[in-house]
A and B are shown apart, each in its own frame.
Chain A
Amino acid sequence: MSRATSSLPRSAAAHAILILYTIIALFPVLVVVMNSFKARNAIFRAPLMPPTTTTFDTVGYTTVMAQGDFLLYFGNSLTVTVVSLFLVLLFGAMAAFALSEYRFRGNTLTGLYLALGIMIPIRLGTVAILQLMVASGLVNTLTALILVYTAQGLPLAIFILSEFMRTVSDDLKNAGRIDGLSEYRIFFRLVLPLVRPAMATVAVFTMIPIWNDLWFPLILAPSESTKTVTLGAQIFLGQFVTNWNAVLAALSLAILPVLVLYFIFSRQLIRGITSGAVK
């Protein structure tokens, strides 16, 4: 095939740059996780050394386990993220299909209206959202968070998905129509499977801000039973700021589940991206 595109020195240089950047990206995380397994003295004396048998200590983890209810927080975060993500993808794809497929009066206007939310951060409406949740009795429930995150994720999802849906061939859909498929079936059976790569991309960009959000859990659901991991970690870190063992252990515990989730998810994402390109 194309020999011109690769040569040994060039690919060595590419690897060197990528390795360097990978180290930059991973180093801070590694340092924190490594030191969370060390005794207090060793943390300060040799922060760059991995734990050895003499310096190994899990006192930080025992402190964290004795204090916060991280398992509950993790469950809350997971519920909120998964449910919101599902709703964003479903509602977003439905609306994107309607906007990209049909010509009807008010199409452009609806599209613009829905796109407003890409540029306007939902946070600017926080007071009124809080009033709304108080009025409907949803304060300190996960439902409040799910509603807010669904609204927050929809605009970008609709925008990206409708761009992709315009690329789905008309012939295919018309063939479906001639075969007597209803518009709903065309959407669920023909179009949705074809835009799966785009859905994976949208899912990542929707999921990250939801999982990491601090603002809305703090305002809408700060009670003990509805705390998310991010909020729980923030409060814990604030309280234990001088206990380095506990802080490092808490940070490692907060990083770990996200990493696991990411590794499960990234394979899907990458398969999505590449299959979209091969098509």
Chain B
Amino acid sequence: MTQAPAPARRPFRWHIPVLLAPAVLVYSAIMILPLFGTLQLSLFRNVEGVRTFVGLANFQTLFGDARWSASFWNALWNNTWFFIIHMVVQNPIGVALAALLSSPRLRFAAFYRTAIFIPTILSFVIVGFVWKLILSPLWGVAPNLLDLVGLKSLFTPWLGKEEYALTTLGLISVWQFVGIPMMLIYAALLSIPDEVIEAAELDGVTGWSQFWKIKLPLILPSIGIISILTFVGNFNAFDLIYSAQGALAGPNYSTDILGTFLYRTFFGFQLQSGDPYMGSTIASMMFVIILAGVCVYLFAVQTRLRRYQF
């Protein structure tokens, strides 16, 4: 970074470290150091009460041992499916809602925006319980509703069936979080200058084709950011599954994702006692997966997105 030759030695710019220090210190002490501490723990094992360095043996167990690897691949696949549901349901709905909301002179826009964002502000505990109650065959809200449209025969206890439980939870999560893509895209759409829109209208580009040809390319960077945030959020998810299905992620582990798998390994469940070392190993694998996803985004996606400066 050689700039124009400095005329004289510039005085040290103290304000730079002063401005950076609080954030860097808190972040390093509470986040980065413990994170590396955990990565380091994955290389150790408890041998007769003594912490012993075992190299990559924990990873060998995770992938080599039939029981461990079955759990791991199950959790990883479930997690991937969870992510796919968000990408194909949550984000398109979010973009569509934002597009509708940003249409000019739409009345009650503030009301819709406020109402649709409400589920996002509720905690997983509330959301998990509310939906558990609503979908419960004991209470009968869901069957009653289906009865209204004559589809009562379709009702099954979705959260209790292996083949439906994970998809149901994914959709519950979509219901909760659709407000986030909606708000981000909405803000991006509002920031498109009127001149661009007016120019498009003068050229006769209106309505749908205006959205596809003018607005969508301009908000692509926002969609990219939303996608990677969704990816990280999903592969780190835990609370909803834990609140709705418990640490065992039932029925029969069909809703087990990496977060719940980590929790069970880490803190133990039922008869198995917790193992911080295997827990750290799983945490390290999650770290690798998330890192890989982020690298794909940064190097393959983001560099190809054109940004427009107004």
A residues with a Cβ closer than 8 A to B are 2, 4-6, 10-11, 14-15, 17-19, 21-22, 24-26, 28-29, 31-32, 43-44, 47-48, 87, 90-92, 94-95, 97-99, 102-105, 110, 113-114, 116-129, 131-132, 147-148, 150-152, 154-155, 158, 182-184, 187, 201, 204-205, 208, 211-215, 229-230, 233-234, 237, 244, 247-248, 251, 254-255, 258-259, 262-263, 266, 270, 273-274, 276-277
Are B30 and A29 closer than 8 Å at their CB atoms? no
A214 partner, pick from B97, B125, B144, beta carbons under 8 A: B125
Are A151 and B124 closer than 8 Å at their CB atoms? no
Are A270 and B30 closer than 8 Å at their CB atoms? no
Which residues of B have CB within 8 Å of A147? 26, 30
Q: How would residues 112 to 133 of chain B score, 1 for a CB under 8 Å from any chain A CB and 0 otherwise?
A: 1111111111111110011101
B232 is an interface residue with CB less than 8 A from chain A: yes
Q: How would residues 82 to 114 of chain B score, 1 for a CB under 8 Å from any chain A CB and 0 otherwise?
A: 000000000001001100110111111011111
Are B118 and A25 closer than 8 Å at their CB atoms? yes
Pairs across A and B, CB under 8 Å, 27 listed: A2-B201, A5-B207, A18-B116, A21-B112, A25-B115, A29-B122, A31-B141, A48-B141, A48-B145, A98-B16, A98-B19, A104-B13, A110-B24, A117-B27, A125-B31, A127-B276, A128-B37, A132-B34, A154-B23, A182-B15, A184-B15, A214-B239, A214-B242, A230-B125, A233-B123, A273-B187, A277-B187
Look across to chain A and name the residue whose beta carbon is closest to the beta carbon of B116.
Answer: A25
Look across to chain B and name the residue whose beta carbon is closest to the beta carbon of A155.
Answer: B27
Which residues of B have CB within 8 Å of A273? 183, 186-187, 190
Closest 6 CB pairs of A and B: A128-B37, A125-B34, A128-B34, A212-B123, A151-B30, A277-B190
Which residues of A have CB within 8 Å of B291? 119-120
B35 partner, pick from A5, A6, A118, A125, beta carbons under 8 A: A125
Which residues of A have CB within 8 Å of B169? none
Which residues of B have CB within 8 Å of A251? 126, 129-130
Look across to chain B and name the residue whose beta carbon is closest to the beta carbon of A107.
Answer: B1
User: Chain B interface residue count: which class?
Assistant: 35 or more
Are A258 and B122 closer than 8 Å at their CB atoms? yes
Which residues of B have CB within 8 Å of A119? 228, 232, 290-291, 293-294
B166 is an interface residue with CB less than 8 A from chain A: no
Look across to chain B and name the residue whose beta carbon is closest to the beta carbon of A183.
Answer: B15
Are B243 and A28 closer than 8 Å at their CB atoms? no
Are A277 and B191 closer than 8 Å at their CB atoms? yes
Are A14 and B242 closer than 8 Å at their CB atoms? no
A152 partner, pick from B31, B106, B112, B228, beta carbons under 8 A: B31
B250 is an interface residue with CB less than 8 A from chain A: no
Are B112 and A126 closer than 8 Å at their CB atoms? no
Are B125 and A4 closer than 8 Å at their CB atoms? no
Look across to chain A and name the residue whose beta carbon is closest to the beta carbon of B276.
Answer: A127
Are A104 and B110 closer than 8 Å at their CB atoms? no
Are A127 and B280 closer than 8 Å at their CB atoms? yes
A92 partner, pick from B3, B23, B107, B276, beta carbons under 8 A: B23
- What's the Cα separation between A151 and B139 when bound, in Å? 42
Are B140 and A47 closer than 8 Å at their CB atoms? yes
Are B116 and A21 closer than 8 Å at their CB atoms? yes
Measured CB to CB, the closest approach of chain B to A164, in angstroms, equals 11
Measured CB to CB, the closest approach of chain A to B96, in angstroms, equals 8
- Residues of B270-295 whose CB lies within 8 A of A: 276, 279-280, 283-284, 286-287, 290-291, 293-294
B198 is an interface residue with CB less than 8 A from chain A: yes
Measured CB to CB, the closest approach of chain B to A229, in angstroms, equals 8
Q: How would residues 167 to 191 of chain B score, 1 for a CB under 8 Å from any chain A CB and 0 otherwise?
A: 0000000010010100100110011
Are A237 and B20 closer than 8 Å at their CB atoms? no
Are B201 and A4 closer than 8 Å at their CB atoms? yes
- What's the Cα separation between A262 and B113 when bound, in Å? 12
Given contacts A95-B20, A150-B26, contact A247 B129 (CB under 8 A): yes
Measured CB to CB, the closest approach of chain B to A142, in angstroms, equals 15
Which residues of B have CB within 8 Å of A123? 236, 238, 259
A120 partner, pick from B19, B35, B145, beta carbons under 8 A: B35
Look across to chain B and name the residue whose beta carbon is closest to the beta carbon of A250.
Answer: B129
- What's the Cα separation between A91 and B22 when bound, in Å? 6
Measured CB to CB, the closest approach of chain B to A131, in angstroms, equals 8
Are A211 and B118 closer than 8 Å at their CB atoms? no
Are B26 and A91 closer than 8 Å at their CB atoms? yes
- What's the Cα separation between A56 and B45 when bound, in Å? 59
Are A259 and B239 closer than 8 Å at their CB atoms? no
Are A14 and B106 closer than 8 Å at their CB atoms? yes
Are B190 and A94 closer than 8 Å at their CB atoms? no
Given contacts A123-B236, A214-B124, contact A5 B206 (CB under 8 A): yes
- What's the Cα separation between A47 and B41 when bound, in Å? 51
Measured CB to CB, the closest approach of chain B to A76, in angstroms, equals 14
Measured CB to CB, the closest approach of chain A to B80, in angstroms, equals 17
Which residues of B have CB within 8 Å of A277? 187, 190-191
Are B180 and A205 closer than 8 Å at their CB atoms? yes
Are B23 and A124 closer than 8 Å at their CB atoms? no
Are A103 and B103 closer than 8 Å at their CB atoms? no
- What's the Cα separation between A119 and B121 when bound, in Å? 22
Look across to chain B and name the residue whose beta carbon is closest to the beta carbon of A45.
Answer: B140
Which residues of B have CB within 8 Å of A258? 121-123
B70 is an interface residue with CB less than 8 A from chain A: no
